C-alpha cells in the first residue's frame, strides 16, 4: 500500500470535525485544548477532529526539561526577550511556537479491530502536508535531520533541511459504549514563515541558561518561505498553506 493510500484509509474511516483557528491569545490554553480534545474523543464524547492553529511567540518545553537545574532562571530571561516558556505534557525537546509556525493536530479514536501502528499514524499525519507543499511546488521527504532540535524519523525535510517536526500521544479509552480502545493525538509543527536560524538560537539559549548541554545546528532547519520565489506580506503564506492543507485533507477524505 502506498503512503497516500494508507493515509486515505484513515481519513475516509472517520467523520471529521475541522477547527481552523485564528492565532491563539494564550499559549497554555492552546496547548491544553489538544489534551482536552484527546480526552473527550477517546471516550466518544466528541468526533474525530482536525485542528489547525498557531500560538503567540513562545517556547514550549517538556515536563522533563522543566526539572532542569536553572529552569526558572531561564524562563525569566527568555520572558524578558519576549519568548515566554510554556510546559507541555508530551516528550521531546524544546520547540519554538509563534505566528508563521503552523500546527496541525489530528485527534481520533480507534477500536481494537481497527488500530494503526505508530508509523502508520505519522504517515497519515504527514501525507496531507506533503501534498499541500507539493501544490506550492515544493517536494518534501521523510527522515531524521542531523543537528536539528526535536529530531525524529518522521520529520519532513526540504532539500535535507527540517521544515516539519512531528509528535504523537496515545491514551487508552475509559470504559465506553462505542467500542473505543484508545485515543490518538498526532501533531505536526510546520515552519512556514518563522526564521529557523533565530528560533534554533532561542532553543539553544534555553538549554544553556537551564544548565543543559543540548546544542543544535541553526543551519539544519528551514522554512517554507525560503523555497518559494516571490514575496508575501507577513502572515499571507501561512494563510495560503492553511488553505492548501484543508484542500488536501478534503482530497484524502474522498474515496
Q: Is 44 left (phi over 0), alpha (psi -120 to 50) or beta?
A: left
Q: Report d(CA 3, CA 127) in Å as an integer.
A: 7
Task: Look at residue 190 and tell me whether its pLDDT is greater than 90.
Answer: yes
137-176: per-residue pLDDT in tens? 999 999 999 999 999 999 999 999 999 999 999 999 999 9
What is the model's pLDDT at position 184? 97
Compute the distance between CA of residue 179 and CA of residue 73 in angstroms, rounded to an integer: 47
Q: Where are the domains of the chain?
A: 3-253
Helix axes of 236-253 and 3-12: crossing angle, nearest 10 degrees:
80
Residue 233 pLDDT level (bands cut at 50, 70, 90): confident
Instruction: With a cut of 80, say whether residue 90 has pLDDT above it.
Output: no
Question: In this model, does residue 231 exceed pLDDT 80?
Answer: no
Is the pLDDT at 198 greater than 90? The verdict is yes
Using DSSP's 3-state secondary structure scheme, residue 224 falls into helix
The β-bridge relationship of strands 85-88 and 101-110 is: unpaired
CA distance 102 to 194: 10
Mean local confidence (pLDDT), 183-202: 97
Under the banding of pLDDT at 50, 70 and 90, the label for residue 232 is confident
pLDDT digits (tens, 9 = 90+) for 120-143: 999 999 999 999 999 999 999 999
Q: Are 95 and 205 in contact (CB under 8 A)?
A: no
pLDDT greater than 90 at residue 14: yes
- Reported confidence tier of residue 113, pLDDT bands at 50, 70, 90: confident
Query: What span, in angstroms and rounded, lies between the C-alpha atoms of 99 and 193?
Result: 8
* Average pLDDT of the residues of the chain: 96
- The three three-digit cell numbers of residue 35, written as one number: 489534551
pLDDT at 255 over 80: no
Q: What is the pLDDT, as a whole number, of residue 236?
A: 95
| CA–CA dist 244, 255 (Å, integer) | 19
Instruction: Report the alpha-carbon distance of residue 233 to residue 138 in Å, rounded.
Output: 20
Domain 3-253 homologous superfamily, CATH:
Bira Bifunctional Protein; Domain 2 (3.30.930.10)
Query: Averaged over 28-56, what is the pLDDT?
Result: 97
Amino acid at each position: 500500500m502506498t503512503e497516500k493510500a494508507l493515509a486515505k484509509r484513515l481519513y475516509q474511516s472517520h467523520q471529521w470535525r475541522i477547527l481552523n483557528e485564528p492565532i491563539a491569545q494564550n499559549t497554555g490554553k492552546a496547548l491544553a485544548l489538544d489534551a482536552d480534545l484527546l480526552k473527550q474523543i477517546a471516550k466518544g464524547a466528541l468526533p474525530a477532529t482536525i485542528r489547525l492553529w498557531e500560538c503567540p511567540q513562545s517556547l514550549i518545553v517538556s515536563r522533563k526539561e522543566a526539572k532542569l537545574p536553572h529552569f526558572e532562571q531561564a524562563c525569566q530571561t527568555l520572558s524578558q526577550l519576549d519568548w515566554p516558556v510554556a510546559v507541555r505534557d508530551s516528550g521531546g525537546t524544546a520547540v519554538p511556537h509563534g505566528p508563521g509556525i503552523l500546527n496541525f493536530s489530528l485527534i481520533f479514536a480507534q477500536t481494537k479491530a481497527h488500530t494503526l501502528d505508530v508509523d502508520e499514524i505519522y504517515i497519515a499525519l504527514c501525507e496531507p502536508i506533503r501534498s499541500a507543499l507539493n501544490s506550492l511546488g515544493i517536494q518534501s521527504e521523510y527522515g531524521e535531520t542531523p543537528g536539528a532540535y526535536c529530531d525524529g524519523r518522521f520529520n519532513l525535510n526540504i532539500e535535507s533541511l527540517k521544515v516539519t517536526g512531528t509528535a504523537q500521544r496515545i491514551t487508552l479509552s475509559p470504559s465506553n459504549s462505542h467500542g473505543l480502545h484508545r485515543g490518538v493525538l498526532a501533531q505536526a509543527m510546520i515552519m512556514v514563515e518563522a526564521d529557523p536560524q533565530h528560533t534554533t538560537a532561542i532553543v539553544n539559549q534555553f538549554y544553556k541558561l537551564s544548565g543543559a548541554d543540548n546544542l543544535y545546528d541553526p543551519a539544519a532547519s528551514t522554512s517554507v518561505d525560503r523555497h518559494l520565489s516571490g514575496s508575501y506580506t507577513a502572515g499571507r503564506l501561512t494563510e495560503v498553506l492553511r488553505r492548501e492543507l484543508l484542500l488536501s485533507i478534503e482530497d484524502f477524505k474522498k474515496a
